[in-house]
Amino acid sequence: MSIQYAILGLLSRQPLTGYDLKKLFAEAETLYWSGNNNQIYRTLVKLHKANLVTQEVHHQEDAPARKVYTITTVGQEALLAWLQTPPELPQVRNHFMLQLTWADQLDDADLDNLLARYEEELRVKQMMIREQHQRDQSRTGNRATSRSPLLAARITERWLDYYGHELAWVQDLRRELL
């Protein structure tokens, strides 16, 4: 699949430029792309060629032109078709777990150090998601009665839950190894 449906999805809410998308990807803690230029601008060109989006160039004086992309009806249909695609299992690439798999070769101090650093990383990430969650909630007004904000809320909650459990797990393990 790839980033193209994420872009289509974002465009289905509002027209955006490549630069906007870049920022959105970079900011969103749960959208896992780095938000690098190469992919975004190339994908937009590709989507445009396939008539899934339209491009509108806004010339500005004394500033580079903004290219605003808007989803087309064809694009909407493509998005909808993708939404009905069979879901895949998450691909959890846990670099740390790999290290831990062989970490019995470390001495006690180095092992605890590894765990402690991971714990710290998790803490930071958890905090960042929590802040984003609160920002989102204050924007939507917290009433998750209709379906769309309910889904958004449950998704972020799941991410928070994930990092929370990962954190609790590593803390337990550290205590157990003392």
- As a whole number of angstroms, the distance between CA 129 and CA 126 comes to 5
Among 33, 96, 159, 162, binds DNA (CB under 7 A): 33
Residue 8: CB atoms within 10 A of its CB come to 21
Among 50, 65, 74, 80, binds its own copies (CB under 8 A): 80
Q: Note whether 150 binds its own copies by CB under 8 A.
A: yes
Q: Which two tokens stand for residue 45?
A: 């060109």
Q: Which two tokens stand for residue 105?
A: 């070769």
Site for DNA in 47-106 (CB under 7 A): 60, 62-67, 93
| Contact in structure between 52 and 8 (CB atoms under 8 Å) | yes
The count of chain residues that interact with its own copies, using the rule CB under 8 A, is 59
| Contact in structure between 153 and 144 (CB atoms under 8 Å) | yes
Closest approach, Cβ 118 to its own copies, in A, equals 4
Q: Which two tokens stand for residue 176?
A: 């157990």
Sites of contact with its own copies (CB under 8 A): 1, 5-6, 9, 12, 30-32, 79-80, 82-106, 110, 113-114, 117-118, 121-122, 125, 147-148, 150-152, 154-155, 158, 161-162, 165-166, 169, 173, 176-177
